Amino acid sequence: MNIHLATAAATPGDPILNISIFGAFVAITLIIVLRASRNNKTAADYYAAGRSFTGGQNGTAIAGDYLSAASFLGIVGAIAITGYDGFMYSIGFLVAWLVALLLVAELLRNTGKYTMADVLSFRLKQRPVRIAAAITTLVVCFFYLLAQMAGAGGLVSLLLGINDKVGQSVVITIVGALMIIYVLIGGMKGTTWVQIIKACLLIAGAAVMTVWTLAIHGLNLSTLLDQAVETAGNPEILNPGLKYGLTDITQLDFISLALALVLGTAALPHVLMRFYTVPTAKEARRSVVWAIWLIGAFYVFTLVLGYGAAALIGADRILASPGGVNSAAPLLAFELGGPILLGLIAAVAFATILAVVAGLTITAAASFAHDIYASVFKKGKARPEDEVKVARRTVVIIGVVAIIGGIGANGQNVAFLVALAFAVAASANLPTILYSLFWRKFSTQGAVWSMYGGLASAILLIAFSPVVSGSPTSMIPGANFAIFPLSNPGLVSIPLAFVLGWLGTVLDKVPRDVAKQVEMEVRSLTGVGAEKEAVDH
């Protein structure tokens, strides 16, 4: 039965139609990027879009940046297969925005200029803190890029019936090349417009599918859930515990995942960088409020879409498809509206991947060029045009690395891969961000210990977890060196990073710069100095 289903689902719809719709999207967005690139004259234009976006525009772009392939493909698939436990991803991703809104957004916008390291190094020693922040930024962006590239491979394997790894690798390479072109030409302004367009398309597409799915079941959510139980043959799909309630280890894994999701958003470099594209701290706050509403609506849609896929398609067909768990949303689109809706939803999913990888790439490139090249190598004396040149070269290198990593991660659940990126971000960045903003005594040694310790512990625990080896679904299925039992390291690595930041500060005997501490506190809370700098740059 599975063989038959896999063959039947290999090429749903019309591959030529799917590619044509996607090609039209790429053509339109490239024109927009080219138009936006005309104004990329300074480093502020390239990194922060000249701080020219309103709160509403930036909030929509944040939603576009945040609603990645994991949100659309991975979460819908997770709900379709594991029901209630899959929806916990949506809850975690959404609740996390409260941390960003209440603790981080406005203070970061007031204190920084282009990157997260601007804030972390404001009152600490520039060189060691900027190097550490740039390294953590690059690693988090790499993990996030892995998820997007894996999503691209899975989606195209479903749409074009490309089941062999070589064909999927070619597709991942094409997506990576397009991403490099977007960022090289458009900078942050072009990337932002692509994200705004993609957010509108994604939310609209999800809304249409949600209403359609409910309409089939008499606009009654209870009827839809009953149908999902009947198709699955398992009432537990509506109850917590199908995935995370089996043993003590899986319950701990759930707590670890929740910690990573809730604390990770406020430490994601590509999300933090978006706060610099608005002219004032007030607009930064408005951005987050807009983002919360848009993202919240979308995650409500994922609940209906996930259970809709469970009801109308079933777990067996989803898992037997070339894209595996990530194919639930495209298969549901085909079930509802045939080849045309599938082509449109596929184009939106592709747009999702392109927009997010573009945002990640410009963040990583800006971090290297601004924090390593300009601030460390050139000691703050680099010409802005040279800095932008270095950023553009970095884009190409990051693109190539992302393509290679994406080929290696192809086939993994993209929601799960993104959860790992959140865990690394929460471990490596969040303690230092919060300590820098709220603890006057925080020192350079504390920052370096926290960032390197959180980053190293998260990566080591992932390397020795069941994600990499020890189970049939691992990245290296034949090997078994899974010493750490949890799939997500957040439960251990996040508290460890907070402890290391505190310990490094307590043991640091170097005198603090009291004047700088006071200046940072006043600036972060009032914005005095930030507006002048925005005008100057």
pLDDT in tens, 456-514: 999 999 888 887 777 776 777 777 888 888 888 989 999 999 999 999 999 988 887 77
Highest mean pLDDT among 6-20, 87-101, 301-315, 351-365: 301-315
Within a domain: 536: no
Looking up residue 426, the CATH number of its domain turns out to be: 1.20.1730.10
Following DSSP, what letter does each residue of 191-220 receive, concatenated?
HHHHHHHHHHHHHHHHHHHHHHHHHHTTT-
User: What pLDDT score does 534 carry?
Assistant: 47
Distance, in Å, from the CA atom of 125 to the CA atom of 442, rounded to the nearest integer, reads 12
Residue 22 near residue 30, CB atoms below 8 Å: no
**Has residue 284 got a pLDDT over 90?**
no
Within a domain: 3: no
**Has residue 8 got a pLDDT over 50?**
no
Within a domain: 307: yes
Distance, in Å, from the CA atom of 494 to the CA atom of 253, rounded to the nearest integer, reads 14
User: What pLDDT score does 213 carry?
Assistant: 95
47 vs 268: which has the higher pLDDT: 268
CB atoms within 10 A of CB 250: 16
CB atoms within 10 A of CB 293: 12
Distance, in Å, from the CA atom of 130 to the CA atom of 373, rounded to the nearest integer, reads 10
Q: What is the pLDDT of residues 399-443, one digit of tens each?
A: 888 888 888 777 666 666 777 888 889 999 999 989 988 888 889
Within a domain: 366: yes
Q: What is the pLDDT of residues 212-243, one digit of tens each?
A: 999 999 999 999 999 989 888 888 888 887 77
Within a domain: 239: yes
143 closest CA partner among 62, 256, 260? 260
**Has residue 109 got a pLDDT over 80?**
no
Domain span including residue 405:
17-526
Residue matched to tokens 């999702």: 352
Q: What element of type H or E holds 422?
A: helix 414-428
Within a domain: 425: yes
What's the whole-number mean pLDDT along residues 89-105? Answer: 80
DSSP state of 134: H
Within a domain: 213: yes
Domain count, the chain: 1
Q: What is the pLDDT of residues 179-197, one digit of tens each?
A: 788 777 777 777 788 888 8
DSSP state of 363: H
Within a domain: 103: yes
Q: What is the pLDDT of residues 125-172, one digit of tens each?
A: 888 988 898 899 888 888 888 777 777 776 666 666 676 778 778 878
